[in-house]
């Protein structure tokens, strides 16, 4: 088989690899340090960035399946992570034209509002479905950490998009 045909296929897998590696790193780092697992993950930043700036990186079916796999691994109610991933994806897609030309402060604001909605929905959903939630300070710390980490995630995604454009 010709390498010319394989190269675009593997380049399209890079965003999926980034999201999957963030999910694995979050899962194993949380288990390694002994904290309880939560639904706030750094993969949300990657999903948001790639949905805005790399239109063909994800689709809703792929994120749904990735969320189902995440729920199975993390022992969450089935469909919980899928709903969160697809919500972040659809918010980014809905605001894509606006966010591509907006300054970074507005992109960060839209991501933080999306993250706030995910945080509040996740707390409510876990309270209703499981009867309890992880420690609120732990989840709030993860949420604030994700918001503060977003500029670095966006910079990495921008750099990766430039490299992926050169590789094609």
pTM of full prediction above 0.85: no
The encoded tokens of residue 110 equal 């839209």
DSSP secondary structure string for all residues of 86-120: HHHHHHHHHTHHHHHHS-HHHHHHHHHHHHHHHHH
- Structure confidence by residue, pLDDT tens digits, 66-95: 888 888 877 778 888 888 888 989 988 888
Residue 56 has pLDDT above 80, yes or no: no
Alpha-carbon 89 to chain mean position: 8
Is 30 in contact with 2 (CB distance < 8 Å)?
Answer: no
The encoded tokens of residue 70 equal 């995440």
**According to the model, what pLDDT value does residue 151 have?**
92
């Amino acid at each position: 088989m010709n390498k010319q045909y394989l190269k675009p296929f593997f380049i399209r897998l890079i965003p999926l690899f980034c999201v999957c590696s963030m999910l694995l790193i979050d899962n194993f780092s949380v288990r390694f340090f002994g904290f309880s697992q939560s639904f706030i993950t750094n993969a949300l930043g990657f999903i948001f960035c790639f949905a805005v700036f790399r239109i063909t990186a994800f689709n809703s079916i792929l994120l749904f399946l990735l969320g189902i796999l995440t729920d199975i691994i993390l022992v969450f109610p089935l469909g919980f992570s899928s709903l969160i991933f697809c919500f972040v994806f659809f918010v980014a897609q809905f605001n894509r034209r606006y966010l591509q030309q907006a300054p970074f402060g507005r992109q960060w604001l839209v991501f933080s509002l999306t993250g706030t909605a995910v945080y509040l929905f996740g707390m409510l959903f876990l309270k209703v479905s499981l009867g309890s939630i992880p420690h609120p300070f732990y989840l709030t710390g993860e949420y604030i950490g994700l918001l503060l980490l977003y500029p670095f995630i966006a910079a990495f995604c921008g750099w990766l998009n430039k490299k992926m454009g050169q590789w094609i």
